[in-house]
Structure 1
Amino acid sequence: MNNREKNQTLLKITYSGLMAALCYVGYAIFPAINAAGTKIHVGNAFVVLGALLLGGPYGGIAGAIGLSLADILGGYAQSAPRTFICKLVIGLIAGLVAHKIANISHNHPKTYIVKWSIISAVAALGFNCIFEPSLKYVWYTLLTPDAEKAASAIKALVAITTYTTIINAVINSAIAVVAYIALRPALYKLGLFGDIDSTSLHESNA
Protein backbone atom coordinates (compact mmCIF):
# COMPACT_ATOMS: atom_id res chain seq x y z
CA MET A 1 0.00 0.00 0.00
CA ASN A 2 1.52 3.34 -1.08
CA ASN A 3 1.26 6.62 0.83
CA ARG A 4 -1.69 7.83 -1.23
CA GLU A 5 -3.66 4.67 -0.49
CA LYS A 6 -2.75 4.88 3.19
CA ASN A 7 -3.94 8.48 3.31
CA GLN A 8 -7.23 7.56 1.65
CA THR A 9 -7.76 4.69 4.07
CA LEU A 10 -7.07 6.97 7.03
CA LEU A 11 -9.45 9.56 5.60
CA LYS A 12 -12.18 6.94 5.17
CA ILE A 13 -11.71 5.73 8.74
CA THR A 14 -12.01 9.32 9.94
CA TYR A 15 -15.19 9.86 7.92
CA SER A 16 -16.53 6.54 9.19
CA GLY A 17 -16.24 7.91 12.72
CA LEU A 18 -18.13 11.01 11.64
CA MET A 19 -20.85 8.91 10.00
CA ALA A 20 -21.17 6.79 13.15
CA ALA A 21 -21.74 9.99 15.11
CA LEU A 22 -24.35 11.17 12.58
CA CYS A 23 -26.15 7.84 12.80
CA TYR A 24 -26.30 8.23 16.56
CA VAL A 25 -27.54 11.82 16.29
CA GLY A 26 -30.13 10.80 13.68
CA TYR A 27 -31.55 8.38 16.23
CA ALA A 28 -31.07 10.41 19.43
CA ILE A 29 -32.39 13.78 18.21
CA PHE A 30 -35.31 12.21 16.36
CA PRO A 31 -36.33 9.36 18.71
CA ALA A 32 -37.64 6.19 17.13
CA ILE A 33 -41.37 5.66 16.87
CA ASN A 34 -42.51 2.10 17.49
CA ALA A 35 -45.06 0.99 14.91
CA ALA A 36 -46.12 -2.65 15.06
CA GLY A 37 -42.75 -3.53 16.52
CA THR A 38 -40.80 -1.62 13.86
CA LYS A 39 -38.60 1.34 14.77
CA ILE A 40 -39.07 4.37 12.55
CA HIS A 41 -36.18 6.87 12.65
CA VAL A 42 -33.81 8.73 10.31
CA GLY A 43 -30.67 6.98 11.53
CA ASN A 44 -30.85 4.57 8.58
CA ALA A 45 -30.43 7.48 6.18
CA PHE A 46 -26.93 8.06 7.51
CA VAL A 47 -26.09 4.36 7.20
CA VAL A 48 -26.96 4.55 3.50
CA LEU A 49 -25.17 7.89 3.12
CA GLY A 50 -22.05 6.40 4.66
CA ALA A 51 -22.19 3.49 2.21
CA LEU A 52 -22.66 5.83 -0.76
CA LEU A 53 -19.76 8.02 0.31
CA LEU A 54 -17.33 5.48 1.72
CA GLY A 55 -18.35 2.08 0.39
CA GLY A 56 -20.33 -0.74 1.94
CA PRO A 57 -17.91 -1.98 4.62
CA TYR A 58 -17.05 1.47 5.98
CA GLY A 59 -20.62 2.74 5.80
CA GLY A 60 -22.02 -0.45 7.28
CA ILE A 61 -19.60 -0.51 10.20
CA ALA A 62 -20.21 3.19 10.88
CA GLY A 63 -23.97 2.65 10.98
CA ALA A 64 -23.65 -0.51 13.05
CA ILE A 65 -21.50 1.20 15.67
CA GLY A 66 -23.47 4.47 15.77
CA LEU A 67 -26.92 2.93 16.07
CA SER A 68 -25.85 0.10 18.38
CA LEU A 69 -24.44 2.76 20.67
CA ALA A 70 -27.72 4.64 20.43
CA ASP A 71 -29.55 1.50 21.55
CA ILE A 72 -27.19 0.97 24.47
CA LEU A 73 -27.31 4.57 25.70
CA GLY A 74 -31.07 4.72 25.10
CA GLY A 75 -31.75 1.80 27.41
CA TYR A 76 -32.22 -0.86 24.72
CA ALA A 77 -28.95 -2.74 25.16
CA GLN A 78 -30.69 -6.06 24.45
CA SER A 79 -31.43 -4.81 20.92
CA ALA A 80 -27.86 -3.68 20.19
CA PRO A 81 -26.58 -6.98 18.71
CA ARG A 82 -29.49 -7.17 16.25
CA THR A 83 -29.10 -3.49 15.43
CA PHE A 84 -25.41 -4.02 14.69
CA ILE A 85 -26.20 -6.85 12.27
CA CYS A 86 -29.06 -5.03 10.52
CA LYS A 87 -27.20 -1.76 10.00
CA LEU A 88 -24.10 -3.57 8.77
CA VAL A 89 -26.27 -5.39 6.21
CA ILE A 90 -27.90 -2.10 5.10
CA GLY A 91 -24.47 -0.58 4.47
CA LEU A 92 -23.15 -3.65 2.66
CA ILE A 93 -26.15 -3.83 0.32
CA ALA A 94 -26.14 -0.10 -0.44
CA GLY A 95 -22.40 -0.20 -1.05
CA LEU A 96 -22.64 -3.33 -3.21
CA VAL A 97 -25.24 -1.79 -5.52
CA ALA A 98 -23.67 1.68 -5.58
CA HIS A 99 -20.00 0.79 -5.96
CA LYS A 100 -19.72 -2.80 -7.20
CA ILE A 101 -22.63 -2.75 -9.64
CA ALA A 102 -23.02 0.92 -10.62
CA ASN A 103 -19.52 2.29 -9.80
CA ILE A 104 -20.98 5.66 -8.83
CA SER A 105 -17.58 7.04 -7.79
CA HIS A 106 -16.47 6.92 -11.43
CA ASN A 107 -17.25 9.21 -14.33
CA HIS A 108 -21.01 9.24 -14.97
CA PRO A 109 -23.67 11.86 -15.80
CA LYS A 110 -25.47 13.32 -12.81
CA THR A 111 -28.72 11.61 -13.83
CA TYR A 112 -26.92 8.25 -13.63
CA ILE A 113 -25.55 9.08 -10.17
CA VAL A 114 -28.99 10.13 -8.90
CA LYS A 115 -30.69 7.05 -10.38
CA TRP A 116 -28.24 4.56 -8.89
CA SER A 117 -28.11 6.38 -5.56
CA ILE A 118 -31.88 5.95 -5.33
CA ILE A 119 -31.70 2.31 -6.41
CA SER A 120 -28.97 1.62 -3.83
CA ALA A 121 -30.92 3.25 -1.01
CA VAL A 122 -34.19 1.53 -1.91
CA ALA A 123 -32.49 -1.86 -2.29
CA ALA A 124 -30.81 -1.61 1.10
CA LEU A 125 -33.74 -0.21 3.06
CA GLY A 126 -36.28 -2.37 1.25
CA PHE A 127 -34.31 -5.50 2.14
CA ASN A 128 -34.05 -4.29 5.73
CA CYS A 129 -37.85 -4.04 5.97
CA ILE A 130 -37.93 -7.83 5.62
CA PHE A 131 -34.59 -8.73 7.18
CA GLU A 132 -34.96 -6.85 10.48
CA PRO A 133 -38.26 -8.39 11.66
CA SER A 134 -37.16 -11.79 10.30
CA LEU A 135 -33.96 -11.61 12.32
CA LYS A 136 -35.96 -10.55 15.36
CA TYR A 137 -38.28 -13.53 14.93
CA VAL A 138 -35.36 -15.96 14.65
CA TRP A 139 -33.64 -14.26 17.59
CA TYR A 140 -36.62 -14.64 19.92
CA THR A 141 -37.55 -18.09 18.62
CA LEU A 142 -34.16 -19.82 18.63
CA LEU A 143 -31.53 -17.76 20.46
CA THR A 144 -33.40 -16.15 23.35
CA PRO A 145 -36.91 -17.64 23.26
CA ASP A 146 -39.65 -15.13 23.97
CA ALA A 147 -43.06 -15.97 22.49
CA GLU A 148 -44.46 -12.46 22.90
CA LYS A 149 -41.52 -10.76 21.17
CA ALA A 150 -41.48 -13.40 18.44
CA ALA A 151 -45.15 -12.69 17.79
CA SER A 152 -44.37 -8.97 17.68
CA ALA A 153 -41.75 -9.67 15.02
CA ILE A 154 -44.29 -11.52 12.89
CA LYS A 155 -46.69 -8.57 13.22
CA ALA A 156 -43.92 -6.26 12.04
CA LEU A 157 -43.23 -8.52 9.07
CA VAL A 158 -46.90 -8.50 8.12
CA ALA A 159 -46.98 -4.71 8.58
CA ILE A 160 -44.37 -4.20 5.82
CA THR A 161 -47.15 -3.19 3.44
CA THR A 162 -48.45 -0.50 5.77
CA TYR A 163 -47.88 3.18 5.14
CA THR A 164 -45.57 3.60 8.15
CA THR A 165 -42.97 1.22 6.75
CA ILE A 166 -43.18 2.77 3.30
CA ILE A 167 -42.87 6.30 4.69
CA ASN A 168 -39.89 5.24 6.79
CA ALA A 169 -38.05 3.83 3.78
CA VAL A 170 -38.94 6.78 1.54
CA ILE A 171 -37.83 9.42 4.05
CA ASN A 172 -34.53 7.71 4.80
CA SER A 173 -33.83 7.08 1.11
CA ALA A 174 -34.58 10.70 0.20
CA ILE A 175 -32.36 12.11 2.95
CA ALA A 176 -29.47 9.82 2.00
CA VAL A 177 -29.65 10.56 -1.73
CA VAL A 178 -30.05 14.33 -1.39
CA ALA A 179 -27.17 14.52 1.08
CA TYR A 180 -24.94 12.37 -1.13
CA ILE A 181 -25.55 14.45 -4.25
CA ALA A 182 -24.88 17.63 -2.26
CA LEU A 183 -21.70 16.36 -0.58
CA ARG A 184 -20.12 14.50 -3.48
CA PRO A 185 -18.33 17.44 -5.16
CA ALA A 186 -16.97 18.83 -1.88
CA LEU A 187 -15.64 15.46 -0.75
CA TYR A 188 -13.96 14.94 -4.10
CA LYS A 189 -11.98 18.12 -3.49
CA LEU A 190 -10.77 16.63 -0.20
CA GLY A 191 -9.49 13.59 -2.08
CA LEU A 192 -12.01 11.07 -0.84
CA PHE A 193 -12.94 9.87 -4.33
CA GLY A 194 -9.65 8.78 -5.79
CA ASP A 195 -11.27 7.31 -8.91
CA ILE A 196 -12.67 10.66 -10.10
CA ASP A 197 -10.55 13.26 -11.84
CA SER A 198 -11.47 16.94 -12.20
CA THR A 199 -12.90 16.44 -15.71
CA SER A 200 -15.12 13.51 -14.81
CA LEU A 201 -16.47 15.27 -11.72
CA HIS A 202 -17.42 18.27 -13.84
CA GLU A 203 -19.11 15.99 -16.41
CA SER A 204 -20.97 13.98 -13.79
CA ASN A 205 -22.50 17.14 -12.34
CA ALA A 206 -23.47 18.55 -15.71
Structure 2
Amino acid sequence: MKEKNGQLMKIAQAGLMAALCYIGYAVFPAISASGTKIHIGNAFVVLSAYLLGGVYGGLSGAVGLSIADIVGGYAASAPRTFITKLVIGLIVGFVAHRIAKLSDEHDHVYVIRWSAIAAVCGLGFNCFFEPALKYVWYTLLFPNADKAASAIKALIAITTYTTIINAVINSVIAVVLYAALRPALKKAGFITAERA
Protein backbone atom coordinates (compact mmCIF):
# COMPACT_ATOMS: atom_id res chain seq x y z
CA MET A 1 0.00 0.00 0.00
CA LYS A 2 2.84 2.39 0.88
CA GLU A 3 4.52 1.71 -2.48
CA LYS A 4 1.24 2.40 -4.32
CA ASN A 5 0.80 5.70 -2.43
CA GLY A 6 4.41 6.64 -3.24
CA GLN A 7 3.80 5.99 -6.93
CA LEU A 8 0.57 8.00 -6.84
CA MET A 9 2.41 10.86 -5.13
CA LYS A 10 5.14 10.81 -7.78
CA ILE A 11 2.54 10.93 -10.57
CA ALA A 12 0.81 13.87 -8.86
CA GLN A 13 4.14 15.67 -8.51
CA ALA A 14 4.88 14.99 -12.18
CA GLY A 15 1.51 16.50 -13.09
CA LEU A 16 2.30 19.60 -11.04
CA MET A 17 5.67 19.97 -12.74
CA ALA A 18 4.05 19.49 -16.17
CA ALA A 19 1.73 22.39 -15.31
CA LEU A 20 4.74 24.53 -14.30
CA CYS A 21 6.46 23.67 -17.60
CA TYR A 22 3.32 24.75 -19.45
CA ILE A 23 3.15 28.01 -17.48
CA GLY A 24 6.84 28.69 -18.08
CA TYR A 25 6.21 28.57 -21.80
CA ALA A 26 2.66 29.83 -22.22
CA VAL A 27 2.31 32.54 -19.59
CA PHE A 28 5.71 34.21 -19.67
CA PRO A 29 6.54 36.06 -22.90
CA ALA A 30 8.30 34.10 -25.62
CA ILE A 31 10.41 35.90 -28.19
CA SER A 32 10.60 34.24 -31.57
CA ALA A 33 13.87 34.46 -33.44
CA SER A 34 14.97 32.21 -36.30
CA GLY A 35 12.20 29.71 -35.53
CA THR A 36 13.28 29.30 -31.89
CA LYS A 37 11.62 30.84 -28.88
CA ILE A 38 13.16 32.20 -25.72
CA HIS A 39 10.98 31.04 -22.83
CA ILE A 40 11.49 29.62 -19.35
CA GLY A 41 9.62 26.35 -19.86
CA ASN A 42 12.91 24.44 -20.14
CA ALA A 43 13.93 25.68 -16.68
CA PHE A 44 10.99 23.74 -15.27
CA VAL A 45 11.95 20.66 -17.31
CA VAL A 46 15.38 20.80 -15.67
CA LEU A 47 13.85 21.48 -12.24
CA SER A 48 11.52 18.50 -12.74
CA ALA A 49 14.49 16.25 -13.47
CA TYR A 50 16.24 17.51 -10.31
CA LEU A 51 13.18 16.82 -8.20
CA LEU A 52 11.63 13.73 -9.80
CA GLY A 53 14.51 12.09 -11.63
CA GLY A 54 15.12 11.77 -15.35
CA VAL A 55 12.13 9.68 -16.40
CA TYR A 56 9.38 11.49 -14.49
CA GLY A 57 11.09 14.86 -14.92
CA GLY A 58 11.49 14.34 -18.66
CA LEU A 59 7.91 13.15 -19.02
CA SER A 60 6.68 16.17 -17.04
CA GLY A 61 8.46 18.52 -19.41
CA ALA A 62 7.45 16.56 -22.48
CA VAL A 63 3.76 16.57 -21.55
CA GLY A 64 3.63 20.17 -20.28
CA LEU A 65 5.45 21.72 -23.22
CA SER A 66 3.70 19.54 -25.81
CA ILE A 67 0.37 20.75 -24.43
CA ALA A 68 1.70 24.33 -24.62
CA ASP A 69 2.52 23.77 -28.30
CA ILE A 70 -0.93 22.34 -29.03
CA VAL A 71 -2.81 25.07 -27.16
CA GLY A 72 -0.54 27.78 -28.62
CA GLY A 73 -1.27 26.76 -32.20
CA TYR A 74 1.91 24.78 -32.86
CA ALA A 75 0.38 21.29 -32.83
CA ALA A 76 2.63 20.14 -35.69
CA SER A 77 5.73 20.66 -33.55
CA ALA A 78 4.28 18.97 -30.43
CA PRO A 79 5.71 15.48 -31.23
CA ARG A 80 9.23 16.95 -31.66
CA THR A 81 8.76 18.96 -28.48
CA PHE A 82 7.78 15.79 -26.63
CA ILE A 83 10.95 14.02 -27.77
CA THR A 84 13.34 16.90 -27.09
CA LYS A 85 11.98 17.69 -23.61
CA LEU A 86 12.01 14.02 -22.64
CA VAL A 87 15.66 13.81 -23.70
CA ILE A 88 16.53 16.97 -21.73
CA GLY A 89 14.95 15.45 -18.61
CA LEU A 90 16.68 12.10 -19.11
CA ILE A 91 20.11 13.71 -19.49
CA VAL A 92 19.67 16.10 -16.56
CA GLY A 93 18.31 13.29 -14.38
CA PHE A 94 21.16 10.98 -15.34
CA VAL A 95 23.86 13.53 -14.53
CA ALA A 96 22.14 14.83 -11.38
CA HIS A 97 21.14 11.50 -9.87
CA ARG A 98 23.22 8.70 -11.38
CA ILE A 99 26.53 10.54 -11.53
CA ALA A 100 26.30 13.27 -8.83
CA LYS A 101 23.80 11.57 -6.49
CA LEU A 102 22.29 15.03 -5.99
CA SER A 103 19.48 13.81 -3.74
CA ASP A 104 21.97 12.60 -1.12
CA GLU A 105 23.39 14.87 1.58
CA HIS A 106 25.89 17.33 0.09
CA ASP A 107 27.17 20.78 0.90
CA HIS A 108 25.68 23.81 -0.86
CA VAL A 109 28.65 24.29 -3.23
CA TYR A 110 28.44 20.67 -4.41
CA VAL A 111 24.70 21.01 -5.07
CA ILE A 112 25.14 24.24 -7.05
CA ARG A 113 28.06 22.85 -9.06
CA TRP A 114 26.37 19.59 -10.00
CA SER A 115 22.96 21.08 -10.63
CA ALA A 116 24.66 23.56 -13.01
CA ILE A 117 26.61 20.76 -14.72
CA ALA A 118 23.43 18.69 -15.13
CA ALA A 119 21.52 21.68 -16.58
CA VAL A 120 24.34 22.52 -19.00
CA CYS A 121 24.56 18.88 -20.13
CA GLY A 122 20.82 18.60 -20.81
CA LEU A 123 20.23 22.03 -22.34
CA GLY A 124 23.60 22.07 -24.11
CA PHE A 125 22.83 18.76 -25.78
CA ASN A 126 19.46 20.19 -26.79
CA CYS A 127 21.19 23.05 -28.66
CA PHE A 128 22.33 20.46 -31.21
CA PHE A 129 19.67 17.79 -30.81
CA GLU A 130 16.61 19.98 -31.45
CA PRO A 131 17.71 21.35 -34.86
CA ALA A 132 19.11 17.93 -35.84
CA LEU A 133 15.79 16.28 -34.98
CA LYS A 134 13.95 18.98 -36.93
CA TYR A 135 16.17 18.31 -39.93
CA VAL A 136 15.58 14.54 -39.77
CA TRP A 137 11.87 15.17 -39.22
CA TYR A 138 11.52 17.27 -42.37
CA THR A 139 13.82 15.22 -44.59
CA LEU A 140 12.91 11.65 -43.69
CA LEU A 141 9.63 11.52 -41.77
CA PHE A 142 7.59 14.40 -43.19
CA PRO A 143 9.51 15.72 -46.21
CA ASN A 144 9.39 19.49 -46.56
CA ALA A 145 12.34 21.02 -48.41
CA ASP A 146 11.86 24.55 -47.02
CA LYS A 147 11.62 23.40 -43.41
CA ALA A 148 14.54 20.99 -43.84
CA ALA A 149 16.68 23.81 -45.25
CA SER A 150 15.67 26.01 -42.34
CA ALA A 151 16.57 23.25 -39.89
CA ILE A 152 20.01 22.68 -41.40
CA LYS A 153 20.64 26.43 -41.37
CA ALA A 154 19.69 26.44 -37.67
CA LEU A 155 21.92 23.45 -37.01
CA ILE A 156 24.89 25.12 -38.64
CA ALA A 157 24.31 28.48 -36.96
CA ILE A 158 23.13 26.92 -33.66
CA THR A 159 19.88 28.77 -34.28
CA THR A 160 21.58 32.17 -34.40
CA TYR A 161 22.33 32.40 -30.69
CA THR A 162 18.71 31.98 -29.61
CA THR A 163 19.03 28.36 -28.52
CA ILE A 164 22.23 29.10 -26.61
CA ILE A 165 20.70 32.18 -24.94
CA ASN A 166 17.64 30.08 -24.07
CA ALA A 167 19.86 27.33 -22.62
CA VAL A 168 21.86 29.78 -20.49
CA ILE A 169 18.77 31.60 -19.17
CA ASN A 170 16.96 28.34 -18.37
CA SER A 171 20.05 26.79 -16.75
CA VAL A 172 20.50 29.77 -14.43
CA ILE A 173 16.81 29.87 -13.50
CA ALA A 174 16.69 26.11 -12.82
CA VAL A 175 19.84 26.14 -10.67
CA VAL A 176 18.68 29.18 -8.66
CA LEU A 177 15.20 27.72 -8.12
CA TYR A 178 16.60 24.35 -7.09
CA ALA A 179 19.12 25.89 -4.69
CA ALA A 180 16.39 28.05 -3.14
CA LEU A 181 13.79 25.28 -2.85
CA ARG A 182 16.05 22.33 -1.98
CA PRO A 183 16.37 22.87 1.80
CA ALA A 184 12.59 23.16 2.35
CA LEU A 185 11.79 20.30 -0.03
CA LYS A 186 14.44 18.08 1.58
CA LYS A 187 13.03 18.83 5.04
CA ALA A 188 9.50 18.01 3.82
CA GLY A 189 10.69 14.67 2.41
CA PHE A 190 10.09 15.68 -1.20
CA ILE A 191 13.73 15.07 -2.15
CA THR A 192 14.88 11.56 -1.38
CA ALA A 193 17.83 9.47 -2.53
CA GLU A 194 15.52 7.18 -4.52
CA ARG A 195 15.05 9.77 -7.29
CA ALA A 196 16.67 8.54 -10.48
What's the Cα RMSD here?
Answer: 1.6
Residue 71 of structure 2, aligned match among 69, 73, 86: 73
- In structure 1, what is the equivalent of residue 157 of structure 2? 159
Alpha-carbon offset, residue 162 of structure 1: 4.2
Q: 1 CA distance for matches of 2:191 and 2:106?
A: 13
Alpha-carbon offset, residue 194 of structure 1: 3.0
Matched, 1:171 2:172: no
TM-score (ref. length: structure 2): 0.93
Moved more, 5-14 or 124-133: 5-14
Amino acid at match of 2:70: I
Q: 2 CA distance for matches of 1:164 and 1:149?
A: 18
Amino acid at match of 2:13: Y
Please give the residue correspondences for 1:43-192 in structure 2 after superposition, counting only pairs within 5 Å: 43-160=41-158, 162-192=160-190
Q: Percent identity?
A: 71
Q: 1 CA distance for matches of 2:113 and 2:43?
A: 17
Alpha-carbon offset, residue 165 of structure 1: 2.8
Specify every segment of 5 or more residues in structure 1 that has no aligned partner in the other structure, as ranges: 197-206
Q: Deviations over 1:108-167 (max 9, x none)?
A: 111111000000000000000100000000000001100110111112112228443332
Contact 2:34 / 2:160 at 8 angstroms: preserved in 1?
no
Q: 1 CA distance for matches of 2:6 and 2:178?
A: 19
Amino acid at match of 2:27: I
Moved more, 130-139 or 154-163: 154-163
Alpha-carbon offset, residue 12 of structure 1: 1.9
Matched, 1:23 2:51: no
SS in 2 for 1:194: coil
Alpha-carbon offset, residue 47 of structure 1: 0.2
TM-score (ref. length: structure 1): 0.89
